[in-house]
Amino acid sequence: MIHVYDGKKTCTGCGLCAFVCPKKAIAMEPDEEGFLYPRIDTDRCVDCGLCRKRCPNQPDKIEKQRHPLSSLAAKNSDQVRENSSSGGIFTALSDTMLQEGGVVFGAQLMEDGQVCHTMAATADQRDRMRDSKYVQSDITSCFDAISQALAAGKTVLFVGTPCQTAAVGAAFPNDRKASKLLLCDLVCHGVPSPRVFSAYRQQLLKEQSGAVKGLAFRSKKAGWSCRAVTIETGGGEKSSFLLDDRYFRLYFAGLITRPCCHACIYTNLHRPSDITIGDCWGEAVRDLSIYDELGLSLVLIHTQNGMDLFGKAQKSISCEEIRLRDFMQEQLQKPSRAGESRAQFWKEFQSKSFKKVLQKYTLTGFTGKVHRVSGAVQRLLKNKEGNHA
Ligand SMILES: Cc1cc2nc3c(=O)[nH]c(=O)nc-3n(C[C@H](O)[C@H](O)[C@H](O)COP(=O)(O)OP(=O)(O)OC[C@H]3O[C@@H](n4cnc5c(N)ncnc54)[C@H](O)[C@@H]3O)c2cc1C
Ligand code: SF4
Ligand code: SF4
Ligand code: SF4
């Protein structure tokens, strides 16, 4: 019997195999960590091998590029950047696509705490995709939706992690060639487990007696480089904000990331997309004339289609050419490392209360040193208005 993938490090959970299977014999199902993997229904499978053949996550399928066509630092207006994780370039690119009658696919945090890719045909729908969600986004329903949008004559912009853009590009190669499908990927440190995020969200609800009104991963209320979840409690005039860094501690300690992220084949400059966006960080950033504290995007353009899209978006943004070697953050050079206690973390996650596990693993910080034990939840701002840190 055929296996679609050889071990968890080789499967990104993109779902392309399920989309292409002619017998609809593949279901994407969560494992004990909450990450989706393909499962074959052997009664339906006819051993045709198409699922393996089309799987995009294979090193020999990566198109080697020498250098991006253009490397830039860029930023949108202050108002857009206040609501974006970085320099707001996703908004500029998607605005351009929407203004031309196209549609945009991006990740959205749903009311129930799930993160999945949805389609936007208006700016309001697109705005819900802003903010980096540190949870793997489910793109499995996108293949049909993209197929329908393309069949209806729409131009599509898909924005996601490189493994997701690789899958979408591999699903619709002719539309890529015909410039009807544009791909924008993110510089990517790896995606955390939906199951841990769900447990964390439940824990927050308990701690706040159910009064959580909103949650953002990369709010700039405490500054652009703040690595903490911002939780809004109350509502309207009485809104308060709390900062909690526990979830990010688990993430940066390499405990909750998808296994394939630690063997990622996209943490380099050979990108499966037209444009790459990320945070423009590094020592040289302060020397840029457009630098400020509200967020700056790194933009790498790889194709002529990418140049055309960015050229149109450029009207609404400021940008400056950069020397790429000054901005080669780690995620453009090698995969992030799994934490030494990853296996132990998951053993305890399955058998103990999440409160206990969270407490234990967030007392030990990134370097193994003991960090402060304040519960890591700080009341940062008393009032929503007038308190931007
Ligand atoms: C899990 C993750 C890890 C990242 N790691 C790095 C890193 O190591 N270094 C770096 O420079 N940048 C990283 N980024 C990218 C960075 O945080 C910004 O998302 C990016 O620069 C875009 O910023 P913006 O202001 O233009 O977009 P915003 O307006 O903030 O929009 C965010 C965009 O990201 C997409 N997105 C959000 N969450 C997800 C998700 N879970 N899966 C797929 N797509 C998503 C949305 O669809 C939207 O297009 C990461 C992003 C994510 C989601
Ligand atoms: S990487 Fe994608 S296509 Fe390949 S096996 Fe995993 S889910 Fe299927
Ligand atoms: S071998 Fe063919 S029929 Fe079987 S799961 Fe893969 S694509 Fe489907
Ligand atoms: S680190 Fe690599 S495998 Fe993991 S989500 Fe990002 S692009 Fe995909």
Other residues' Cβ atoms within 10 Å of the Cβ of residue 39: 14
Task: Let me know if domain 8-57 sits in CATH 3.20.20.140.
Answer: no
pLDDT value of residue 73: 98
For the CA of 258, the nearest ligand: 4
Reply yes or no on whether the pLDDT at 233 is more than 90: no
Confidence of residue 367 (pLDDT cuts 50, 70, 90): very low
11 lines ligand 2 (CB under 6 A): yes
Reply yes or no on whether the pLDDT at 156 is more than 90: yes
170 lines ligand 2 (CB under 6 A): no
pLDDT value of residue 71: 97
pTM confidence score: 0.94
Q: Whose CA is nearest to atom 6 of ligand 2?
A: 11
Domain residue spans in the chain?
A: 8-57, 70-191+257-332, 194-256+340-381
pLDDT value of residue 65: 75
The rounded distance, in Å, linking the Cα atoms of 192 and 172 is: 27
pLDDT value of residue 240: 85
Reply yes or no on whether the pLDDT at 112 is more than 60: yes
Reply yes or no on whether the pLDDT at 259 is more than 80: yes
Per-residue pLDDT reduced to its tens digit, 17-60 = 999 999 999 999 999 999 999 999 999 999 999 999 999 999 99
Per-residue pLDDT reduced to its tens digit, 289-339 = 999 999 999 999 999 999 999 999 998 899 999 999 999 999 999 999 999
- CA-angle at 150, arms to 146 and 152, nearest 5°: 120
pLDDT: is 239 or 72 the higher one?
A: 72
H helical segments located in 225-287: 246-252
Reply yes or no on whether the pLDDT at 372 is more than 70: no
Pocket test for ligand 3, best of 5, 43, 47 (most atoms within 8 A of CB): 47
Stretch 94-123: mean pLDDT, rounded?
Answer: 97
DSSP assignment letter at 335: P
Q: Which runs of E-coded beta strand occur in the chain?
A: 26-30, 36-40, 70-75, 103-109, 115-120, 156-160, 181-186, 212-216, 229-233, 240-244, 275-279, 297-301, 318-321, 377-381
Share of the chain above pLDDT 90, in %: 81
Pocket test for ligand 4, best of 135, 264, 276, 334 (most atoms within 8 A of CB): 264
Distance from Cα 23 to the centre of ligand 4, integer Å: 28
User: Minimal CA–CA distance to 193: which of 115, 130, 139?
Assistant: 115
Which atom from ligand 3 is nearest to the alpha carbon of 52?
6
pLDDT value of residue 380: 36
